[in-house]
Amino acid sequence: MEQKTTSIAQLPQTTEPRNLGTALDLDWALSMQANTSAIERRCASLPGRRSVKKDHQAAWLARAISCIDLTTLSGDDTSGRVKRLCAKALQPARQDILDQIGLPYLTTGAVCVYHDMIATAVTALHGTGIPVAAVSTGFPAGLSPLHLRIEEIRESVKVGASEIDIVISRRHVLTQNWQALYDEMAAFRTACGDAHVKAILATGELGSLRNVGRASLICMMAGADFIKTSTGKESVNATLPVTLVMLRAIRAYHSRTGFRVGYKPAGGISKAKDAITYLALIKEELGDRWLRPDLFRFGASSLLGDIERQLEHHLTGSYSANHRHPIG
């Protein structure tokens, strides 16, 4: 396959300063509250209020594709599977579909793999502008010794990962040891160097929306470039209520510091209509600037297949079988 030289994910954005972090401000973090019933009511109403059709729907779905971290995180991953995934990231839908919607060079936002597959992905994507992200720090549990987790980050950066998805120690949140969480996140950020760091909060294991909000703020204070909901391995992954809490933490952080931090929902988002709902919530809470791949990503793989089916339906009026839109 001939590789394209320009990725929609890498088109010039605006010159955003990287989040430099701040000193730990516990008064600010502990002031974070969450009205669960109000949050759930707001999120329940969103899908019905934000329905888009026809050309508008196609445009939103194309934007969703450009924000996908196309991911394979399985114990049976092979070089062949990762190469096929990279080919799919480079051409996420059939070329005739991309041509008809006017985006012939549309790509996904990144490819996300385990450490052992970084070199394969970097080679496969060389010259395309599509970044390689790696999960790290004892993913998914994050329970290996701290010095090993830090060294894992360094090794992944050394072999070419330009984005690192780290997992926090959930126990720091559950025991309210906010200083330990801040120090851990700051150490991970330092180890990443120039690579951007996404902090996975594992929100389904944090006990409450209030904890989610406080952990979000503290990870941003410690220098996280993105905050991310889940590893995809928990029993509860990305949800709209968790998303709303994290987006408002991002908004509060930007208002106080001027730094824009990205957001990544991961796990359980597999339908095109759900992707549009998430994008609509981002637009309402943070504005259009966050609807770009440098500030928003979906952690997903199966989502792409359903989006491709919906785009084909938009163009032909018919739904195709899933097997006609393989991920890799």
Q: What domains does the chain contain, in order, with CATH numbers?
A: 21-324 (3.20.20.70)
> E strands of the chain, at which residues?
68-71, 110-113, 132-135, 163-167, 196-200, 226-228, 262-264, 298-300
pLDDT band at 52 (very low <50, low <70, confident <90, very high): confident
pLDDT of residue 12: 41
For residues 148-161, give the mean pLDDT: 98
User: What's the one-letter identity of residue 116?
Assistant: D
Which pLDDT value is given to residue 317? Answer: 86
Cα dihedral sign for 247, 276, 65, 9?
A: negative
Amino acid 7: pLDDT: 46
Query: Looking at the predicted structure, is the pLDDT value of residue 173 above 90?
Result: yes
How many Cα atoms within 13 Å fall on the side-chain side of residue 150? Answer: 13
The whole-angstrom distance between residue 261's C-alpha and the CA centroid of its chain comes to 12
Stretch 183-206: mean pLDDT, rounded? 97
Calculate the CA dihedral of residues 111, 116, 119, 125 and round it to 10 degrees: -20
Q: In this structure, what are the phi and psi dihedrals at residue 32, rounded to the nearest 5 degrees?
A: -70, 120
Bridge pairing between strands 110-113 and 68-71: parallel
The angle formed by the CA atoms of residues 87, 202 and 259, to the nearest 5 degrees, is 80
pTM of the predicted model as reported, rounded to 2 decimal places = 0.93
**Is 322 a residue whose pLDDT tops 80?**
no
Please give the pLDDT value at position 302.
Answer: 87
Specify the higher pLDDT residue, 320 or 200.
Answer: 200
308: number of Cβ within 10 Å: 25
Cα separation values, 98 from 102, 178, 316, 319, Å: 6, 47, 13, 17
Whether the predicted pLDDT of 49 surpasses 80:
no
Cis peptide before 293 (omega within 30 of 0): no
With a cut of 80, say whether residue 50 has pLDDT above it: no
Supply the residues annotated as catalytic.
165, 228, 264
pLDDT greater than 50 at residue 251: yes
Q: What share of the chain has pLDDT > 90, as a percent? A: 84
According to the model, what pLDDT value does residue 327 have?
Answer: 63
CB 9 within 8 A of CB 125: no
The pLDDT score that the predictor gives to residue 206 is 96
- Strands 262-264 and 298-300, by their bridges, are unpaired
Burial of 14 (0-12, 13-18, 19+ CB in 10 A): exposed
- The confidence score (pLDDT) of residue 15 equals 64
b/e for 48-74, b at 16 or more Cβ within 10 A? eeeeeeeeebbebbbbbbbbbbbbbbe
* 140 pLDDT above the threshold of 80: yes
Q: What pLDDT is stored for residue 296 in this prediction?
A: 98
Report the pLDDT value the prediction gives residue 6, as an integer from 0 to 100. 44
